[in-house]
Structure 1
Amino acid sequence: MPQRSSIVATVAASVAAALAVALPAEATPTDPKPLSDVRIASHFDLAAGQLPENIALLPDGSAHITFAAGRQIARITPRGTTRILATLPAPADAGVRTPVLGFPMTTGIVHAPGGATYVLYATGAADLTGLWRLAPGRAPERIAALPPDGVPNGLALDRHSGRLYITDSVLGTVWTVPLSGGRPTAWSTAPELAPDGFLGANGAKVHDGALWVTNLDRGTLLRIPIRHGNRAGAPQVKATGLAGIDDFAFTGRGDEVLATLNAPNKVVRIRPDGTATTVLDAGDGLQNPTSVAVRGREVYVLSAAYTTAEDPNLLRARLHGGRRG
């Protein structure tokens, strides 16, 4: 198996050119008001492949995260301590057939009622790529296979229906599967999900009767209505001009979201009318932010340092005007 330093180098080489895009300054003027008490809560080990990709907040104040290059699921305590919960199996070919990336990548994560954590794994291998479940006291197990020529990336849970939605950034598809697992169904293959040179459909959240999805290449935030019978409606473009948009979270104020812009090293606030303002940037400690989560007025931002190669970390901040509790 390649050394960790080689894996990190491969990661950087795979994403640097594609993510090195500049967001026009006029599209995201700085808004200094929404966040305060900004600080780095946890630092991760770059050489060990601890490049944090996605986050799920737990009721006890902790968080579960995925380490993209480490193939790992970790728990972050409220005090910022990191504990590895599980490491997913390595592909026999070290993941070199993983589309676009060339390395196995642990991506989306959600925590479900009942205590199980669900994660996505892209490997280029038919026996490993798919949806994995980590139940308390048990080893991780794959419960749904996904196409090895794709990159499953964003994962969202509809708590009302008990269904998971999965974005594939290469195939431009949203898959759906029940929490119990099984054969995924292609829920949407709308052209708005397709990549444009690198990665398309990315972050995913269920909100107010719809699945919201970002498209990294196209710099868009989409809303896809969930129709009767779990049918996908036509995508509605809610915001544009967001080059490098990755993950996002709703603030608790209607359709307002916070979103990470990976290569531009920014977190932006997107209002319901689609306008965006920068609320965090490299000066706050961002290192290619990949994921954001909101709990009440607490904001959590992961940075993977894919291209900066300096300090993968977890940043925390206080949101003004968000939902209490």
Structure 2
Amino acid sequence: MPWTKTRTRKVLLAAAVTAVAVALAVPGPATAASGPVSDVRFVAHLSIADGQRPENITLEPGGDADVTFAYSRQVARITSDGRTRVLATLPAPPAGSSTPALTSPFLGGIVRAQDGTLYFLYATGTSDLTGVWRLRPGGPPKRVAALPADGLPNGLALDGRTGLLYVADSVLGVVWRVPTAGGTPSRWATAPELQSAGFLGANGIKIHNGAAWVSNLDKGTVLRIPITHRGAAGRVETRATGLVNIDDIDFTGAGNTLLAAVNGDNEIALVTPDGIHTVVLTAADGLENPTSLAVRGGTAYVASGAYFTDKDPNLLAVRLRHGSR
């Protein structure tokens, strides 16, 4: 998500939307990272002029990536050979509307169900548009659940076993739960650990090994919230610290080792189950304010929004070495 180390940089969020275009390179090799990752390559270079600043990512079975473009209100597909196709554009809110914390309308987390349906989050500061949206293959986008207009629904996760969606709200410091069929959201988890420290709190979210894992941008933490056998939220556990400006997370495999996108610092960190983190990718590898991650098999896909570098929003792919999974 668009953020930095201090709230004062929030003014850059609006400026980034109107930035001029940059010359685009042909997708290809980036740099050869060392350690737990290798073989970094560009999947796609995106266009600032066209509003292509990816905020979140989910993967298609064939290797394409579905992304949200934060401020152009678009859901798009990036093919494995670097082509971009817009799947849907969401309606603009009324003039004068203001999204909490960010001002501009914001398209956030996205997930894909097994039947190909996409679910994603839209925040506008208005009650008629803010909430969970659905896009079925070949159909129009439709809101299936309203969320509070004074919040900022940001991270989105799908529990494939139960058909429930989990939403991390960065302004209200809440995790909402919503059935994929739609309906009224329930306030699933609230805790001080989810609150912001002045700007944005709960951010990225994943369902993994019987728990919801949530990043907190302001506090630089990774949290684990057990899902009880009745589906309720257990006690919040802090599993990692020292990751201020953390955006999205994803797990490298069946264990609890994860990758964290540290937006403002242009870093991807590998976080082990004991909470120790090591930086494995930097700006030298092509990162431009990384916003989101998706891991499949031995490959991690990293989307960069270039919110503050304002140069080259892109999608990278990187191979995970066996020891990092």
- Letter in structure 1 aligned against 2:69: F
State which of 50, 53, 67 in structure 1 corresponds to 2:52.
50
Distance of 2:93 and 2:260 partners within structure 1: 32
CA contact (8 A) 2:14 2:104 kept: no
Superposed, 1:123-272 pairs within 5 Å as 123-272=124-273
CA contact (8 A) 2:16 2:310 kept: no
CA contact (8 A) 2:100 2:151 kept: yes
CA contact (8 A) 1:36 1:318 kept: yes
CA contact (8 A) 2:155 2:169 kept: yes
Q: Which runs of 5+ in 2 are unaligned?
A: 1-9, 18-32
Cα distance change on mapping 1:323 and 1:220 into 2, 3 Å: closer
State which of 29, 35, 38 in structure 2 corresponds to 1:36.
38
Q: Deviations for 1:215-270, whole angstroms, at most 9, x for unmatched residues?
A: 00000000000012211001100000001110011001510001100000000000
> Per-residue deviation at 1:40?
1.7
Counterpart residue number, 2:81:
79
Counterpart residue number, 1:20:
none
CA contact (8 A) 1:156 1:166 kept: yes
- Letter in structure 1 aligned against 2:170: S
Q: Deviations for 1:102-155, whole angstroms, at most 9, x for unmatched residues?
A: 000100000002110000001001100000000011100000000010000000
Counterpart residue number, 2:3:
none
1:275 equivalent to 2:284? Answer no
Cα distance change on mapping 1:264 and 1:315 into 2, 3 Å: same
Distance of 1:270 and 1:77 partners within structure 2: 29
Distance of 2:113 and 2:323 partners within structure 1: 23
CA contact (8 A) 1:302 1:313 kept: yes
Distance of 2:86 and 2:12 partners within structure 1: 23
CA contact (8 A) 1:202 1:246 kept: yes
SS of 1:48's equivalent in the other structure is coil
Q: Deviations for 1:40-65, whole angstroms, at most 9, x for unmatched residues?
A: 21111112221100000111211100
Q: Deviations for 1:56-91, whole angstroms, at most 9, x for unmatched residues?
A: 011121110000011000011111211000000000
CA contact (8 A) 1:297 1:322 kept: no
> Per-residue deviation at 1:164?
0.3
1:64 equivalent to 2:66? Answer yes
Distance of 1:315 and 1:41 partners within structure 2: 5
Distance of 2:103 and 2:81 partners within structure 1: 35
CA contact (8 A) 1:244 1:263 kept: yes
CA contact (8 A) 1:72 1:84 kept: yes
TM-score (ref. length: structure 2)? 0.89
- Letter in structure 1 aligned against 2:94: A
> Per-residue deviation at 1:323?
9.1
Counterpart residue number, 1:313:
314
Counterpart residue number, 2:95:
93
Distance of 2:121 and 2:100 partners within structure 1: 15
The CA RMSD measured in Å over matched residues stands at 1.8
- Letter in structure 1 aligned against 2:142: E
CA contact (8 A) 2:257 2:324 kept: no
CA contact (8 A) 1:10 1:102 kept: no
Counterpart residue number, 1:114:
115
CA contact (8 A) 1:63 1:76 kept: yes
The percentage of aligned residue pairs carrying the same residue is 57
Counterpart residue number, 2:29:
none
SS of 2:49's equivalent in the other structure is helix
SS of 2:56's equivalent in the other structure is strand
CA contact (8 A) 1:69 1:106 kept: yes
CA contact (8 A) 1:34 1:279 kept: yes
- Letter in structure 1 aligned against 2:160: R
